[in-house]
Homo-oligomer: A and B are copies of this chain.
Amino acid sequence: MSTLPHDQSAGQRGPADHTIREQIVSAANEHFAKYGYGKTTVSDLAKEIGFSKAYIYKFFDSKQAIGEAICNQCLDAVLASVALSMADAKTPTDKLRRMFRAIVTASAELFFSDRKLYDIASHSVIEKWSSSTQYGDKIYAMLEQIIVEGRQSGEFERKTPLDETCRAITQAMQPFTNPVMLQHSLDLLPDGPNEVISLVLRSLSP
């Protein structure tokens, strides 16, 4: 339907476009870190990078789209550290503990090392951006896999419907895994989340 030449149509960009996208995201990241996400406009970013506003809009539909790209980078880093921490776990119990500890540790580190970026992540949760719902879905899928494994090995109970178990654990861990809530629970680290994980594990016993 589009009459635009191929290299201008969204979602089908070559390597050069990819580099420009990265350049915009990186500049935006620095700008947001200095002035905050809320206070920055696409015009501010354009001025900072030395691009026209129209040129930025060729790569990102909106400020939120740039924010989502930044969030994705940051949440992918959390997921990578979770995967790493679970790599040599031997039992589902051990995996569950390591998974939640890694999420809490990585999230708290982000809070203390880059407060503005943390605020973008919180914003993405409140506004239900796709970056944050996808992150939530990936965490949920990891959790579900651990629970299934534990049910198969006889380590976890099987009476409660699987989806109910996964939803309830996800909710119970929110004070420590949801960035909006974690900032109010920081004084409870590290014992708070460990005690809730222990409660969760007691609830899973067959």
What are the residues of chain B within 8 A of A184 when measuring CB–CB? 125-126, 178, 180-181
A175 and B168 contact, CB distance less than 8 A: no
**Whole-angstrom CA separation of A81 from B203 in the bound complex:** 29
Q: Choose the segment among A62-70, A107-115, A191-199 that binds chain B (4+ C-beta atoms closer than 8 Å).
A: A191-199
Task: Say yes or no for A40: interface residue by CB 8 A criterion.
Answer: no
**Whole-angstrom CA separation of A181 from B183 in the bound complex:** 11
What are the residues of chain B within 8 A of A34 when measuring CB–CB? none
Q: Chain A binding site: helix, strand, loop or mixed by DSSP?
A: helix
**Whole-angstrom CA separation of A202 from B168 in the bound complex:** 11
What are the residues of chain B within 8 A of A199 when measuring CB–CB? 165, 168-169, 172, 200, 203
List CB contacts (< 8 Å) of A98-138 with chain B: 125-126
**Whole-angstrom CA separation of A80 from B202 in the bound complex:** 32
With A175-B174, A181-B181 known to touch, is A200 a contact of B198 (CB < 8 Å)? no
Shortest C-beta distance, A150 to chain B (Å), equals 14
What are the residues of chain B within 8 A of A160 when measuring CB–CB? 198, 202
Task: Say yes or no for A18: interface residue by CB 8 A criterion.
Answer: no
What are the residues of chain B within 8 A of A185 when measuring CB–CB? 171, 174
Q: List 9 A-B contacts (CB under 8 A).
A: A125-B184, A160-B198, A169-B199, A171-B192, A172-B172, A172-B200, A200-B203, A202-B203, A202-B204
Residues of A within 8 A of B (CB): 125-126, 157, 160, 164-165, 167-169, 171-176, 178, 180-181, 184-185, 188, 192, 195-196, 198-200, 202-204
The 5 closest A-B pairs by CB, nearest first: A203-B203, A172-B172, A168-B199, A202-B203, A168-B195
